[in-house]
Amino acid sequence: MSYIDHSDKRAALAAALGQLEQALTQARAELAPLRAEIQRARSQLKSERAHATDLAWELEELELRLRDLRVQHAAATDPLQAHMIASVAERCVVLEEQALTQLIRVDELAAQCAAAEQALTERERAWAAREAQLNAECERIRTLLQSDSGPAR
């Protein structure tokens, strides 16, 4: 083998190694935004669940107030109290609707998060197999480059 052939072979191996390393870097970089998006979705889900809990507590407190007002109103016939009962009852209906809407939103976000997490898991699994192949090929090329470090005589 001539020195030129040997040099061409080393250059081709080095170029192939560079391409493989670039493919590894690029594929790893493609997964990072997906992980970040899932983390943002989880954070939003946590926030939405907290909001749903807050609404539930607020509704429970308002319903207790309404019961107390009704008990007090049963003993008296105050028109102002009747108006207050109607107002609190109306607020309960509105708050209940908000709480139910929020629970639906939480369920939808939870389903979206679960689907995104499953898709990422599948993609990471596929990438792990491909990454192992690419790493093995990189190592094979490095070995060839190291064992072929000098011109053949």
Asked if the structure places residue 117 within a domain, the reply is yes
* Chain-centre distance for alpha carbon 4: 53
H helical segments located in the chain: 3-75, 79-147
Asked if the structure places residue 27 within a domain, the reply is yes
Asked if the structure places residue 131 within a domain, the reply is yes
Mean pLDDT score of the chain = 89
Phi, psi of 147, deg, nearest 5: -75, -20
Asked if the structure places residue 153 within a domain, the reply is no
- What total number of domains does the chain contain? 1
Asked if the structure places residue 34 within a domain, the reply is yes
Residues 6+ apart with CB under 8 A from 86: none
* 13 vs 96, higher pLDDT: 96
Domain CATH number, residue 113: 1.10.287.1490
Q: What is the pLDDT of residues 69-109, one digit of tens each?
A: 998 887 777 888 889 999 999 999 999 999 999 999 999 99
Write the CA distances from 89 to 52, 69, 95, 123, integer angstroms. 20, 10, 10, 51
Write out the residue range of the structural domain in which residue 82 sits. Answer: 3-147
Asked if the structure places residue 152 within a domain, the reply is no
Amino acid at 17: L
User: How far does the chain reach from its first CA to its final CA, in angstroms?
Assistant: 8
Amino acid at 130: R
